[in-house]
Structure 1
Amino acid sequence: MNYKFTIVVPVYNEEDNLERVEKELLQYTTIASVSTKVLFVNDGSKDKSLELIEAICKRNHAFEFISFESNRGLSAAIKAGFDYTTTELVGYIDSDLQTAPEDFNLLLQHISDYDLVTGVRANRKDSFVKNMSSKIANGIRRAFTHDGMDDTGCPLKVIKTDYAKRIPMFKGLHRFLPAMVMLQNGKVIQIPVQHFPRIAGTAKFGLWNRLLGPLMDCFAYLWMKKKYINYTVNKKSE
């Protein structure tokens, strides 16, 4: 099948969620506004996640996977997903399914006019501490990047693949995807999406990851912005 859109699903110790992930993403492929496939990226899980992923991919032709030798973190998993994507469009969703796959259709409505479309979680169903730390971290990031995004941590995005593959990812930079697309002179927009409480499994980010870590990453972003190489070819030999 000639797929147009790949959904990257980073997975780290999510064995309790994967049956629901399979069900909901399989259902989404039947209602997706463009032909869609799924790419699991197993980030060195220590539970039965890989075993379950392999079984899922064997029984669903639109599902594929790659697996890391060891845990490398969310940014590495997202980058690997981008690297292994062969479709025109790429997106990602977390395997905890706190966002809804059907909301990809909301984002896809805008991708012809933009190079990255990100969700912004409306009525977040997280704890007060998590919500406040994310709000503070987003405010700090906006002050550094001027990307205008309210919720770059939202795990629901659609990107034109050629832009995604040019993002020089490093640890923590998954929070800066809109800013990195803007460095390429790309256009970004945020669209409200649904948000749900986590049903199974455990969160992989604590206060450090949500607040202090992103602050340090802002300085890494500023360094990269200063050193970033951007060019446009307007003519080549035929």
Structure 2
Amino acid sequence: MPQPSLSILIPAKDEAGNLTQLLDEIDAALSDEAYEILVVDDGSTDTTWTLLSQRAASDVRLRPLRHMRSAGQSTSLWQAAWAARGTWLATLDGDGQNDPADLPRLYDKARQEGITLVNGHRVLRRDTWFTKFSSRVANRVRSTLLKDDTPDTGCGLKVIRRDAFLALPYFDHMHRFIPALILAQGGRCVSVPVNHRPRGAGKSHYGLNNRLWVGLVDIIGVMWLRRRSRLPAPLESEASKALEHDTSGLHTKEHP
């Protein structure tokens, strides 16, 4: 298998009914790319691990990881990112609501110069009214307090430079604040409209309580982190100054 340039990270808890189709769609969408897929079974009680193990036996691009007890989405993504081998990371939810057909477009956008994170924006949500309401409230509160200039931080579909992700501070629920954390470190974020689909099987693990009320404590923590951050802080050395001087001489030297 060639060295992958893109690593797909998928946290999955009790998603056996959705993963087969999702993995097939990723394969179809990225047929021209060198990629790998890391699925983290986050303490599932269904047949998720059996499905992943059987599929990995015939697909070298699939690298299943497992938590015997659920550790949460942020921990799953953070550990998978450290295990990944690609220069770029793409994240998707394991419920199949993110459309892998959007991946090539986000990946192409991400590789433009100066972009650190491309965040999906679910313009037309395919959720229950209560899920849409709770997500809208949580996004409004986050946007107002953090000013992260991102309309849909909760969208699981993202493409981000791996080195930038690994430089972020780790804490539980950090995945909800990736745009704000990237901006605090001097990165550039853009949002792109993406498709959103109804959940195929299983049920959502999120509601108003763990989207907003629990998140308020995290928002205060992120606000503190941003106030205390001194990044980016360009660092010079004598060697870099000498190199800059030599390079500038190349441009000013006159030739007969």
Give TM-score, length-normalised by structure 1.
0.93
Cα offset for 1:9?
0.7
Cα offset for 1:133?
1.4
Q: Distance in 2 between matches of 1:227 and 1:43?
A: 33
Letter of the 1:191 partner, please give it: V
Cα offset for 1:213?
1.9
Q: Distance in 1 between matches of 2:59 and 2:104?
A: 21
Contact 2:13 2:42 in 1 (8 A): yes
Give TM-score, length-normalised by structure 2.
0.87
Q: Distance in 2 between matches of 1:117 and 1:3?
A: 19
Query: Kindly tell me: are residues 20 and 146 of structure 1, through their superposed partners in 2, closer, same or farther at Cα, counting changes over 3 Å?
Result: same
Unmatched tracts of structure 1, length 5 or more: none
Contact 1:29 1:37 in 2 (8 A): no
Match of 2:137 in 1: 136
SS in structure 2 of the partner of residue 164 of structure 1: helix
Which of 111-120 and 212-221 deviates more?
212-221
Please tell me whether residue 164 in structure 1 is matched to residue 165 in structure 2: yes
Alignment coverage as a number of residue pairs: 236
Larger radius of gyration: 2
Cα offset for 1:86?
1.8
Contact 2:35 2:86 in 1 (8 A): no
Letter of the 1:4 partner, please give it: S
Match of 1:119 in 2: 120
Q: Distance in 1 between matches of 2:41 and 2:27?
A: 18
Unmatched tracts of structure 2, length 5 or more: 241-256
Query: Kindly tell me: are residues 144 and 60 of structure 1, through their superposed partners in 2, closer, same or farther at Cα, counting changes over 3 Å?
Result: same
Cα offset for 1:229?
5.4
Two-structure CA RMSD over aligned residues (Å): 1.7
Structure 1 residue ranges, 4+ long, deviating more than 6 angstroms after superposition: none
Cα offset for 1:29?
2.8
Contact 2:8 2:35 in 1 (8 A): yes
Contact 1:6 1:87 in 2 (8 A): yes
Query: Kindly tell me: are residues 91 and 130 of structure 1, through their superposed partners in 2, closer, same or farther at Cα, counting changes over 3 Å?
Result: same
SS in structure 2 of the partner of residue 77 of structure 1: helix
